[in-house]
Amino acid sequence: MRTFDLHGLRRVQRQLRSDGIRDTSNPLRSGIHSRGFLPHVKREGASYFVTFRLADSLPSKVLIDFQRIHTEKLSNISQHDSAARHDADLDLRRKIERYLDRGAGACHLRRDDIAAAVSEALLHFHGRHYLLDEWVIMPNHAHLIIWPMPGYTLSAILRSRKRQTARQANLLLKSTGHKFWQPESYDHWIRSDAEKARIRQYIRNNPRKAGLCKSPEDWCWGSAWANTQRLDPSTPRRLPVCDTAD
């Protein structure tokens, strides 16, 4: 694992330099840092695609197998072929997403009270600490596009939202003290409007593709439904029970 961390960090650092981005004294704002498994690239003023998942949603053995295949694939690609390496990284992400959509683990986010608590927590600081674009809460993970406002870092925002929702969820589950979220989130700096449009479409359609609803607008734990209701996302509210799940 440590070998992958080092190689992954070096590879992303080379890509940053080729893009004209330099590490700063605060890599949580702009530059690169690692929390163990993944290299995290930050660029001040950027929007991010973020996925965070429940602690039991992806077993360590499955993740290690995915990473082994990914590392073997990278070993056969030239260090200078950034496009092929990007495709390999994308393939890894898609494998993880497909596994999550199978509904592994206890899927506590299927519970309306827990999904509502997470929705409210995400919407609570919209317009004050960050701007939310598309977002969706799935049975065992959540996706969002987020733009941290000046003075706030993505790392601090995610830490705050995950800590609060873990505390609320564990109270509802009567399992206080248990790990609710997997500690490390996935975050991806969105490079272009075209990329953002693709990610928006993916987030909106995720519940439909997972067989949870017929239309994105039917899934009330996401921005597609919220937009049809013309909700003000900056106002915390108790969202209604969602009756579209199987």
Give the tokens for residue 71.
Answer: 């590392």
On whether residue 155 sits in a domain, the answer given is yes
Give the model confidence (pLDDT) of 157-196 as tens digits: 999 999 999 999 999 999 877 889 988 888 888 989 999 9
Looking at residue 188, which CATH number applies to its domain? 3.30.70.1290
- Of 12, 33, 31, 47, nearest in space to 190 by CA: 47
On whether residue 101 sits in a domain, the answer given is yes
Average pLDDT, integer, range 135-164: 94
Supply the pTM of this predicted model: 0.69
What's at 5, amino acid-wise?
A: D
Q: Please count the structural domains in the chain.
A: 1
On whether residue 5 sits in a domain, the answer given is no
* Residue numbers of the domain that contains 166: 45-228
**CA dist., res. 138 & res. 236, Å (int):** 20
Note the pLDDT of residue 166: 95
pLDDT band at 230 (very low <50, low <70, confident <90, very high): low
On whether residue 94 sits in a domain, the answer given is yes
**Positive or negative: CA dihedral 201, 206, 208, 210:** positive
**CA dist., res. 194 & res. 16, Å (int):** 20
On whether residue 125 sits in a domain, the answer given is yes
Note the pLDDT of residue 64: 76
What's at 159, amino acid-wise?
A: R
**CA dist., res. 201 & res. 9, Å (int):** 29
On whether residue 207 sits in a domain, the answer given is yes
- Please state, rounded to an integer, the average pLDDT across all residues of the chain: 77
